[in-house]
Amino acid sequence: MAAAEALSQSGLQFATFSEAKCNELYWNLTESGGFRIRSDTTPAAGIRDIFTNGRKYATECATATLIVIYKAVLDSINEAVFNRLYSDLLLYDWHPDDHLPLIGRTGIQNSYPGDLLYFKNPDFNPETPEWRGENVIKIDDNLYYGHPFGIVTAERIISGLNRNRRPGSFRSAYLTDDIITPDYLYLSQFAPDMRTNIFARIGVQYFVVPLPKS
23-38 per-position pLDDT tens digit: 999 999 999 999 999 9
DSSP string computed for 103-120: EEEE-GGG--TT-EEEEE
Task: Give the model's confidence band at 180: pLDDT under 50 very low, under 70 low, under 90 confident, else very high.
Answer: very high
Percent of the chain exceeding pLDDT 70 equals 90
- pLDDT for the residue numbered 214: 47
Task: Write out pLDDT tens, residues 146-163.
Answer: 999 999 999 999 999 999
Task: Write out pLDDT tens, residues 106-122.
Answer: 999 999 999 999 999 99
Task: Give the model's confidence band at 193: pLDDT under 50 very low, under 70 low, under 90 confident, else very high.
Answer: low
Task: Give the model's confidence band at 194: pLDDT under 50 very low, under 70 low, under 90 confident, else very high.
Answer: low
Chain-centroid distance of CA 100 in Å reads 11
- pLDDT for the residue numbered 192: 80
Contacts of 199 (CB under 8 A, 6+ apart): 185, 188, 206, 207, 208, 209
Domain layout of the chain by residue ranges: 1-100, 102-182
Task: Write out pLDDT tens, residues 56-88.
Answer: 999 999 999 999 999 999 999 999 999 999 999
Say if residue 205's pLDDT is above 60. no
Task: State the Cα–Cα distance between residues 182 and 178, nearest whole angstrom.
Answer: 14
In this prediction the pTM is 0.89
Percent of the chain exceeding pLDDT 90 equals 86
Say if residue 135's pLDDT is above 50. yes
Q: Which amino acid is at 1?
A: M
Say if residue 129's pLDDT is above 60. yes
Task: Give the model's confidence band at 175: pLDDT under 50 very low, under 70 low, under 90 confident, else very high.
Answer: very high
- pLDDT for the residue numbered 210: 52
Total length of the chain:
214
